[in-house]
Amino acid sequence: MISKSKNLIALFTILFLLLLGIQTYFLYKTYQVKEREIYKDIQIGLTKFTDELEDNGGLRKISDDSLQDIFIMLNNKELSKKKFLAIFEDNRKKTEDHFSQYVDYKFKKEKYKVAVKIEYLSIVFLPTNTDLIDKPITLYETKNKLVKAGVSNTGRWRTSSERNQKDKENAFLIGSKTSFEVLNMKTIVFKELALLILCCTLLLSGVLMLYIFTIRNLIRQQKQVEILHTVVDNISHEFKTPIATLKIASKALKKNLNPETLPLIDRQINRLENLMSQLHKDETGEGVPTLQPEDWNFFIEDLNFTYPEAQFTLKNNISQELPFSKSMMETIIKNLCENSVKYGASVVNINIANPPNGLEITVSDNGQGMEKKELKSIFEKFYRIQSNNIHNTKGLGLGLYFIQQIVKKYNGKIEVTSKLKEGTTFKIQMPYEN
């Protein structure tokens, strides 16, 4: 049983971790898809940008003819590399504000914070295949600076002029790259996926709570089953000896015709045999004798004989046979009275009344009483009141549980009132018609 439960717990854990992994992978892939969609939209929005620079709010661009002249001058060493780089740096600074405004306006509706950089990677003089630059040159850049490019587009284009044959021979192959990044990508994507993330989190939390609740219940039930098996084994073993002993004693006493002890022994034998039979049935049992008016007196006589140090006072207002199980009513009376004695009572008052269409049993004592917080738990199976986490009285915690089951069988109800150091009162009401 324990091994099977451990296997179920292990399987449950594996399945939960698998579900967690699937959910995490699903969210990660969804994030990637959404990120690609955003970058695709930005790429489309900036595709025609280089063609619109000259007509976009005065944004300055060096013309192709001017570029070729500058490249020729650099190649012929008529222009120093420092001045060459200064030309492009100056162009970048003068266009930065307009470029940034253009990009911000382009994606204002989507609230994208976009960083863009357009640069030359190489400037190759084709006749000699010589690269005129040893590092990239930035042409245009937004005020928002790139941290890590999300998408980069590279391209190559050739400069030439139709003005004369000499210029045609001075052709250059330009390698360029446009890089851009959405700096607030995570914020945007997580906002759009907020509902999905919330649903996944709630689903996982629900499964986890169900898992924890199931494991706790399983552990608690296993403990109860182990305790119950121990209780049944112990009771079965312990009952055999007193039953056999009482039967022998009863036979011996019958020979001596002892009129006072014989009825007591016979009642105890019958009770023990009923208890033995109940170990193999439901606790509430069936097929037991009905209740006679004098049976209540016998219950109290047995208690007085068993607990001579306590005073049991019975007020019996019953004068007719009642449609209740004798053994069950005996269980109620004796369990309540024995509990009173166990918890310090010296005086126990029992009142049996029969108001119209019902039976009313009241048991009150002058024992140590209970705290209010204990009252909601005392009818639980195996529950025992503790003091400083220590059980001060012997018992299995089954007495009040059995009482509650009997009262439920007869559709009755139990009321409990108690005060510390003053005592406890149990009031049980059960209708005649079940």
Give 142-159 pLDDT, tens digit per residue: 999 988 888 888 888 887
Strand 290-291 and strand 322-325: pairing? antiparallel
Angle (CA) 6 8 9, round 5°:
65
Q: How far apart are CA 405 and CA 410, in angstroms?
A: 9
Angle (CA) 60 64 67, round 5°:
85
| 3-state SS, residue 206 | helix
Instruction: Report if pTM > 0.85.
Output: no
Q: pLDDT tens digit string along 276-328? A: 665 555 544 445 567 888 889 988 888 887 788 899 999 998 888 888 888 88
Q: pLDDT tens digit string along 194-216? A: 888 888 888 888 888 888 888 78
Q: How far apart are CA 88 and CA 109, in angstroms?
A: 32
CB neighbourhood size of 201 (10 A)? 12
Mean pLDDT to the nearest integer, 259-280 = 68
Is the separation of the CB atoms in 354 and 367 below 8 Å?
no
Residue positions counted in the chain: 434
Give the residue with greater pLDDT, 167 vs 400. Answer: 400
Query: Which pair of structure tokens corresponds to residue 237?
Result: 């073993």
Give the residue with greater pLDDT, 337 vs 257. Answer: 337
| 3-state SS, residue 289 | coil
Q: How far apart are CA 414 and CA 434, in angstroms?
A: 16
Gap between the terminal Cα atoms of the chain: 38
Residue 106 backbone phi and psi in degrees, to 5:
-60, -35
pLDDT confidence bin for 57, thresholds 50/70/90 = very low
pLDDT > 90: what percent of the chain?
Answer: 13
In the chain, the domains with their CATH numbers are 41-192 (no CATH), 281-431 (3.30.565.10)
Name the residue among 234, 298, 295, 307 with its Cα closest to residue 265.
298
Residue 296 CA neighbour count, 13 Å, CB half: 25
- At a CB cut-off of 8 Å and minimum separation 6, what does 425 contact? 362, 363, 364, 365, 416, 417, 418
Report pLDDT for 421: 87
